[in-house]
Structure 1
Amino acid sequence: MATTASAKERQGISPLFLAFVAITLVSGWAVWSRSLAANAGFAVFLFVVAGWVVSLCLHEYAHARTALHSGDLSVEAKGYLRLNPLAYSHALLSIVLPVVFVIMGGIGLPGGAVFIERHRIQGRWRHSLISAAGPLVNLVCAVGLLLPLGLGWLSSSPIEFQAAMAFLGFLQVTATLLNLLPVPGLDGYGVIEPWLSHKLRRQVEPFAPFGLLAVFGLLWVPEINRVFFDVIYGLMRDLGAPPELASFGGSLFRFWQ
């Protein structure tokens, strides 16, 4: 009985994750119905932050689920498959810092990956797929949020709701692009790392903890910043979502300003 209960507990969805899903749905309804018309910005803030946490959990879950099917059975015992944001080996990097950067700078900062026991996994393609799984989730989220706007499915909805969807979609696009950069410490490097020589991997390994900081620092360079956001806005336009709508969503999100 105890073993069965323990197994169910390991496999069940985390109540904390379900709470964030509920906050996303309720705050999204509040924006849609304008039930908080006097403070629409706060409802947009809750919708975006909770929705962003949900996507971060799904991002890390995708890494863990792919690793499980690739041979790392330890991810289940670690609780990674429950979508619990507190279960990740780098909760600060995976959840807290990305949320802080969304609040401070309005950019989808990629988080730290779950701890995968790579020695259990055979085959370079499997290692690459594990690293790619997370950013692919962000890409799916971006398409799911922005494509309905581009197709006009939400044209009759309040502009505040469209703006909130666009801003959350904008964050997903930035997270996808940043995560896929072939920089040590990011998922993009994890995709190509199995195909590099052992010597080169050993040389690059000490720089992995600083890769994300280096990318963030480079984004402060005006020329690089301009190119980066030109790409982001171009991808949004390809999906039919005007970047101006995301900017309006960002201004609603920062309701305290």
Structure 2
Amino acid sequence: MLFSQSWADLPYIIITIIIGFTLHEFAHAYVAYKFGDPTAQKQGRLTLNPIAHLDPLGAIFIILVGFGWARPVPVNRYYFKRPRLAGVLVSLAGPVSNLILAFIGFVLFVVLYKTGITNGLPFDFFPFLQIFIQMNLLLFAFNLIPLPPLDGYRIIEDLVSSRIRAKMSQYEVYGSILFIVLVVTGLSNSTIFPYIRFVQGFFINLFQSILL
């Protein structure tokens, strides 16, 4: 399991996955809709109902190996008046939603710790909030990796010229294969995970400097 040393933390992880994945995909759908693309809305994805967004296999993978996925939100760039700008913002919306959730979790952690209002309650909020913060920062960092089909790759696609974008599309399948190889061979432990741990540490320190 990804974060816990025991199965006791599994409910915290499941709750975080439901919230983190749902808000991530909703954010993609909402921003696309605001830029004029009704595709996700017509397919019932402009909702906070987790059932519309969760992929059971993807949720299991993130619990077991640290990488997972939700159901991708369909986006039709032809509805955008400014496709590049809209494309970047739509792609950024998902990871940023996870960053915001992590910050909210950190604020709650600090408030509960300083006020002590949870003392005597049967539910220990602190292990849950720690996992909530860590996993949402993981989702933020992971989705910004510039490999297909992640959001980071889509952002780069919209930032480069049309010529480079066409070249990228030719090699997209190899990027997906590289990503699978990193995960299956365990090379992600020396490549992807150090990056994710760095991002987690950076933002936790940033949150601390803002709030403490």
Q: TM-score range by the shorter chain?
A: 0.7 to 0.9
Q: Kindly tell me: are residues 103 and 74 of structure 1, through their superposed partners in 2, closer, same or farther at Cα, counting changes over 3 Å? A: closer
Q: Is contact 1:143-1:239 (8 Å) kept?
A: yes
In the alignment of these two chains, the number of paired residues is 194
CA 1:104–1:116: 2 relative to 1, 3 Å? same
Aligned to 2:81: 122
- State the alpha-carbon separation in 2 of the partners of residues 211 and 87 from structure 1: 29
Q: CA deviation at 1:126?
A: 1.0
SS at match of 1:82: coil
Q: Is the CA contact (8 Å cut-off) linking 2:147 and 2:176 kept in structure 1?
A: no
TM-score calculated relative to the size of structure 1: 0.64
Question: Which residue number in structure 1 is paired with residue 145 of structure 2?
Answer: 181
Alignment of 1:237-248 (within 5 A): 237-240=205-208
Q: Which of 17, 34, 37 is 1:52 aligned to?
A: 17
Amino acid corresponding to residue 197 of structure 2 in structure 1: F
- Note the residue ranges of structure 2 that are not aligned, 5 or more in a row: 1-5
Summarize deviations over 1:223-252 as a string: whole Å, max 9, x none.
4334542442343233239xxxxxxxxxxx
Please list, as runs of the form range in 1=range in 2, the aligned pairs for 1:27-46 lying within 5 A after superposition.
42=8, 44-46=9-11
Counterparts of 1:215 and 1:128, CA distance in 2: 26
TM-score of the pair, normalised by structure 2: 0.76
Counterpart selection for 2:97 from 118, 131, 137: 137
Residue in 2 that maps onto 1:72: 37
Cα pair 2:55 2:69 within 8 Å, conserved: no
| Mapped contact 1:55–1:138 kept (Cα < 8 A) | yes
- Structure 1 Cα separation of the partners of residues 67 and 127 of structure 2: 16
Q: 1:66 to 1:212 in 2, by over 3 A?
A: farther
Q: 1:165 to 1:196 in 2, by over 3 A?
A: same
The match for 2:55 among 75, 82, 95 is 95
1:212 Cα shift?
Answer: 4.7
Identity %: 22
Q: Assess if the C-alpha contact under 8 Å between 1:74 and 1:117 holds in 2.
A: yes
Contact 1:109 1:178 (8 Å CA) reproduced: no
Instruction: Report the CA distance shift for 1:214/1:174 in structure 2 as closer, same or farther (over 3 A).
Output: farther
Give, as a single letter, the amino acid of the residue that structure 1 aligns with 2:85: W
Read off the aligned partner of 2:27 and give its amino acid letter: A
- The higher radius of gyration belongs to 1
Give CA-to-partner distance per residue, 1:22-58, whole Å, 9 cap, x none: xxxxxxxxxxxxxxxxxx964x422330232122111
Partners of 1:64 and 1:211 in 2: CA distance: 28
Query: For 2:27, which of 50, 62, 75 is the aligned residue?
Result: 62
C-alpha distance in 2, partners of 1:96/1:212?
20
Code of the residue aligned with 1:153 in structure 2: it is L
In the alignment, the residues of structure 1 paired with residue 187 and residue 25 of structure 2 have an alpha-carbon distance, to the nearest angstrom, of 27
> Offset at 1:122?
2.3
Asked if the contact 2:25/2:73 (under 8 Å) is kept, the reply is yes
Superposed CA RMSD: 3.0
**Contact 2:37–2:77 (8 Å) recurs in 1:** yes
Instruction: Check the 8 A contact 2:106/2:129 in 1, yes or no.
Output: yes
Q: Return the match for 2:180 from 205, 213, 217.
A: 213
Residue 198 of structure 1 corresponds to which residue in structure 2? 162
Q: Which sits farther off after the overlay, 190-199 or 69-78?
A: 190-199
